[in-house]
Structure 1
Amino acid sequence: MTLTQLEIFSLVAELRGFTAAAHRLEISQSAVSHALKSLEQELGVELLRRHQSQVELSDIGQQLLLRARAMLGLANTLRQEAADARGMKRGTLRIGSFGPTSSIKLLPKILQHYRAAHPGIEVHIDEGPDRQVIQWLEERRIDIGFVVLPQERFDTFRLIEDQMVALLPADHALAGRDSLSLSDLCHEPFVLTEAGSSELVSRLFSAARLTPNIRYRCSQLISTLDTVGRGDALTVVAEGSLPDDNDNRYVKKPLSPPVSRQVGLAVLDQRQSSPATLAFIKLASSLNDRQAA
């Protein structure tokens, strides 16, 4: 069993295909097939089931995939530690990011300084809803992720805090109020943004034993803003996720009582994190401290 075989197995499982994995790795499809066949013969189990152009994991394959990703993660940490001894000239950092808060407002500035300090580190960024980033962390698909805090199952590092706000059409009957309670928002059509802090919004209503009248679900915040701006619904979003430019089609109102949101970085285990990951955490934290000051 080799790390190359495990890497091919992990990538085929993620991409659900031999051709896609071969293209990503820039090797032939026959090389991918040979590597997986050899791995299955060595282990004596079927890891993948072939269905025409797609594949799916067998039951034992799903179990071994988590082990394979853990081994690949440790191997990457070893390489990073060796690279650190050489001045961290080479390496890979896989980042998970969610919504405008991290992808637009936090990540670009951090990456600008990180690439300047560590130009040899190859950075891969995957974007998805907050719950997706958490899943990627658990499955070891990424080294570090931006998350809504708290997240007790991970080692976390707080970066920013903002407020949750109600967002409603500018001509809405509630637009003149100074603040709004969650109960005020339950009687109107509601749009839920699947990206960003959707889990937090759902928990807020659930904790208050309230049920919003969800009529729309949008995968991106920009679609949510357009839905509210058209007058079709209202919503609750994090203030830090809103665009800097003022859109007169909708208004934001603080919640009563106020609800804060914290965003930070999370890793599965800081003690096993690579030097590239730790350097990213240190840089992000220092930039945040400077901005706070």
Structure 2
Amino acid sequence: MQISQIEYFVAVAEALSFTRGAERVHIVQSAVSAGIRQLERELGAELFVRHGRTIRLAPAGEALLPRAHRILADIQAARDAVDAVRGTVRGTVALGTLAHAGSIDVLKILQAVRRDYPDIVVKLRQTVQGTRSSLADVRSGALDLALVSVSGEAAAGIELHALHAEEIAFVCSDHHRLAKRKRVVLSEIADERFIDFPEGWGNRSTVDGAFTAAGLNRTVQAEVVSFGMALELVRQDLGVAFLPESALQESELQESALQDDGVPGLWTIRTPLVWRIQLARSAERQATAAEHVLIRKFQEAGRPDASPAPGGPAI
């Protein structure tokens, strides 16, 4: 069993495609396919179920994948130990990021890593399915690190580093019945038409948790993946929303200037709900030297504390 065969297997297993897997390891597809066939012969089992051009992991492949990740992690740890003697840090880190990261300037952090540690390669992937999918990818090893939004302090099998926290505001149009109000309680808005992100996104989970804790049900009429889109729908009085404070400040709808009483067309009410961002990594394996560098850079840039709105509703 060769290291390259393990690398090929992991790449194809994560991409569920020989073509895309070969692109990840920068090797021609024929060599990747040959390497995996040889690995299957050595193990005496098929690792993939092949149906024409589509593939999925076979039971043997599912059993091998987490162990293959650990093998590659151990190899990287050995390289790190040698590099430490020479005073260098190198390696590749697969980093997942959110569509909106509050005050965390991801690009500035990546620039600092490239400047200070030119031998570290960061493969950036922006989530299109939210925190739940990012946590799954961290557990499986498809991502080494990921920015996530977990409302609690723990996630099974995950090590979380708190980076950022901010208030979540209730937002309605300035024509809404609650416009001009200073406070709002969940029981009086449970029947509203809500605009929110899909299930599995961190900000959605925080709001869902508040309604569940209050014994209330709500209806999400529209699901979006853009804070700007959510604000536009609210401004058109097509629903109400709970949105992080920074999303209000950075929205394209406010480019003309934010007025003291809120965005024109919108009315915002502060709440004690808090949106939190953490950097997640698997607790099942040792972090590489390159991962430690990114964790430190993100921690230096983070702002993990946020105070609830004074006098806000008892949500």
TM-score (norm 1): 0.89
How far did 1:134 drift?
0.9
Instruction: Show the counterpart of 1:272.
Output: 286
Aligned to 1:213: 219
Alignment of 1:78-117 (within 5 A): 78-101=78-101, 105-117=104-116
Q: Is the 8 A contact 2:149 2:278 kept in 1?
A: yes
Deviation at 1:68, TM superposition (A): 1.3
More helix by share: 1
The offset of 1:152, in angstroms, is 4.2
Residue 178 of structure 1, CA deviation: 0.7
CA RMSD of aligned residues (A): 2.5
1:228–1:234 contact (8 Å) kept in structure 2? yes
User: Structure 1 residues 52 and 203, CA, compared in 2 at 3 Å: closer, same or farther?
Assistant: same
Taking structure 1 as reference, are residues 280 and 146 closer, same or farther at Cα in structure 2, changes over 3 Å only?
same
1:137 corresponds in structure 2 to 138
> In the aligned structure 1, how far is the partner of 2:284 from the partner of 2:23?
33
AA of the residue aligned to 1:274: T
The 1-side partners of 2:92 and 2:58 are apart by 29
The structural deviation recorded for 1:240 is 3.1
| Structure 1 residues 225 and 266, CA gap change in structure 2 (3 angstroms) | same
The CA deviation at 1:183 is 2.4
Question: What whole-Å deviation, never above 9, does each CA across 1:48-86 have from its counterpart, x for those lacking one?
Answer: 011111111112212221221222223233323433433
In structure 1, C-alpha distance between the alignment counterparts of 2:274 and 2:236, rounded to whole Å:
27
Task: Report the counterpart of residue 66 of structure 2 in structure 1.
Answer: 66
Answer yes or no: is the 8 Å Cα contact 1:99–1:241 preserved in 2: no
List gaps (5 residues or longer) in structure 1.
none
Equivalenced residue count is 289
Match of 1:248 among 264, 278, 281: 264
Which amino acid is the alignment partner of residue 185 of structure 2? Answer: S
Measured against aligned partners, the alpha-carbon deviations of 1:74-131 in whole angstroms (never above 9, x if no partner) come to 32333234334333353112212123126x7432232232222112211111222111
Partner of 2:204: 198
Query: Which of 74-83 and 175-184 deviates more?
Result: 74-83
8 A Cα contact 1:162 1:262, kept in partner: yes
Q: Please say if residues 145 and 281 of structure 2, whose CA atoms lie closer than 8 Å, have aligned partners that are also in contact.
A: yes
Equivalent position SS for 2:55: strand
Residue matched to 2:295: 281
Are the aligned partners of 1:159 and 1:265 in contact in 2 as well (CA < 8 Å)?
yes
Check whether the contact 2:165–2:304 (CA below 8 A) recurs between aligned residues: no
Q: Check if 1:187 corresponds to 2:203.
A: no
* Higher deviation after alignment, 20-29 or 47-56: 20-29
Q: Which residue of 1 aligns with 2:43?
A: 43
Q: Give 1:164 deviation, angstroms.
A: 1.6
What is the CA deviation profile of residues 238-292 of structure 1, one whole-angstrom value per residue up to 9, with x for unaligned ones? Answer: 223444344423232112xx12233222222397111111122222223337999
The 10-residue stretch of structure 1 (80-89 or 196-205) with the greater mean CA deviation from structure 2: 80-89
Residue 313 of structure 2 aligns with which residue?
Answer: none
Letter in 2 for 1:87: G
User: What one-letter code is carried by the residue in structure 2 that aligns with 1:43?
Assistant: L
Confirm or deny: 8 A CA contact 1:100 1:196 kept in the other structure. no
- Specify whether residues 231 and 260 from structure 1 end up closer, same or farther in structure 2 by C-alpha distance, changes over 3 A only: same
Q: Displacement, 1:140?
A: 1.3
Q: Does 1:155 align with 2:159?
A: yes
Q: Cα–Cα, structure 1 residues 162 and 60, in superposed 2: closer, same or farther, change >3 Å? A: same
What do residues 164-212 of structure 1 show as CA deviations (whole Å, max 9, x unaligned)? 2112223211121112222233111111213452222222222222111
Structure 1 range deviating more: 140-149 or 38-47: 140-149
Separation of aligned partners in 2, 1:99 and 1:180: 28
Task: Name which of structure 1's ranges 40-49 and 177-186 shifts more when overlaid on structure 2.
Answer: 177-186
**How far apart are the structure 2 equivalents of 1:175 and 1:78?**
60
1:148 CA displacement: 2.5
Query: Distance between the aligned counterparts of 2:13 and 2:71, measured in 1?
Result: 16
Name the CA shift for 1:170/1:147 in 2 (closer, same or farther; >3 Å): same
Structure 1 pair 192/289, CA: closer, same or farther in 2 (3 Å)?
closer
Greater alpha carbon shift after TM alignment, 50-59 vs 109-118: 109-118
In 2 relative to 1, CA 84–167 (structure 1 residues): closer, same or farther, beyond 3 Å? farther
